[in-house]
Amino acid sequence: MNQALALTPTSSNLLVYTGVLMVLVGMAFKVAAVPFHMWAPDAYEGAPTPITAFMATAPKAAAMAAFLRVFGSGFHGVSSDWVLPLSYIAGASMILGNVAAVRQESMKRLLAYSSIAHVGYMLLGVLSGDPKAGAQAVWLYMLIYIVMNTGAFAVVIYLQGKGEGERIEDFKGLGRKHPVLAFAMMVFLLSLAGIPPLVGFFGKFYLFKLAIEQGFVTLTVIALLTSAVSAYYYLGVVSQMYFREPEGEAAPMGAGPVFIVTLTCALVLVGTAFGPWLLDWAGRIFWV
């Protein structure tokens, strides 16, 4: 009787594989990775922008930390069961997130699809065969991403307070109406695109370098190509700010938006100046 109920090695392996896949699906849904991303664009667009900014930063960081703990450490011994499906999820997130962002007219939906693409980049660190190096790369990228995204959403929140900011067209002429605000937004967007020498470049460089060292050459090529696509739609917003005629009069900025935009822009620029040092610092400090 006991022998009949005992699990055979084959059935035991199947249960482990099924369980790992179910956890993977749940974690991928939490970080809005493709194909479990469907909720993110509508949630980002429908929620009040301060809530959207929070959703795009703090919960995503917590979910990615859990992803690293579960798969980078807990399931490291059964990595053969989840590396392949996670590779497809990472590649699909980078491709769909960036390609879909090109077609967006809403700034919040653009940032939503952008966040899906950035999750794909961060999953390269989860895929690393070296849990410590992977955690270092992901945490460095996540901290940089939080600063860049917070600054970008602060600009959107300010514009929405003036009855604008919902659509990308609302940014036209911002370089003339608010030169400092437009400069900060340009810094955030170009850094999100990973354009050197901004600090976002160093975050991507560390992740892509690690992925190549671990043998994920195809995924790294996809990451590089989709990063080029992201530069297109980020530069589209910059073009609206600097190469379109403004509409309406400039309004003074409140103390809150000024503080957040100034602080985040300063952090991005300081990180840019100390990019190589950040890579070394991440290599010594971050470990989950």
User: What torsion, rounded to 10 degrees, do the Cα atoms 187, 191, 196, 202 define?
Assistant: 140
Residue 110 clears pLDDT 80, i.e. is over it: yes
Write out pLDDT tens, residues 10-37: 555 888 888 889 999 999 999 999 999 8
Distance CA 78, CA 95 (A): 27
Tell me which residue range forms the domain holding 62.
2-285
Distance CA 45, CA 109 (A): 6
- Report residue 120 as tokens: 């794909």
pLDDT band at 281 (very low <50, low <70, confident <90, very high): low
Write out pLDDT tens, residues 236-271: 999 999 998 877 666 666 667 778 888 888 888 887
pLDDT band at 288 (very low <50, low <70, confident <90, very high): very low
Find the distance separating the first CA and the last CA of the chain, reported in whole Å.
45
Amino acid present at 21: L
Residue 115 clears pLDDT 90, i.e. is over it: yes
Q: What pLDDT was estimated at residue 7?
A: 44
The residues that bridge with 167 in the sheet, in sequence order, are 106
More confident residue, 49 or 7: 49
Average pLDDT over residues 118-143: 87
Out of 74-78, 104-108, 224-228, 249-253, the most confident range is: 224-228
More confident residue, 224 or 58: 224
Name the percent of the chain lying above pLDDT 70.
Answer: 86
Q: What pLDDT was estimated at residue 4?
A: 42
Please, what is the average pLDDT of the chain? Answer: 84
Give the chain's domain count: 1
More confident residue, 92 or 272: 92
Distance CA 236, CA 243 (A): 10
Write out pLDDT tens, residues 177-207: 888 889 999 999 999 999 988 888 988 988 9
Average pLDDT over residues 130-150: 86
Q: What pLDDT was estimated at residue 114?
A: 93
Residue 136 clears pLDDT 90, i.e. is over it: no
Residue 5 clears pLDDT 50, i.e. is over it: no
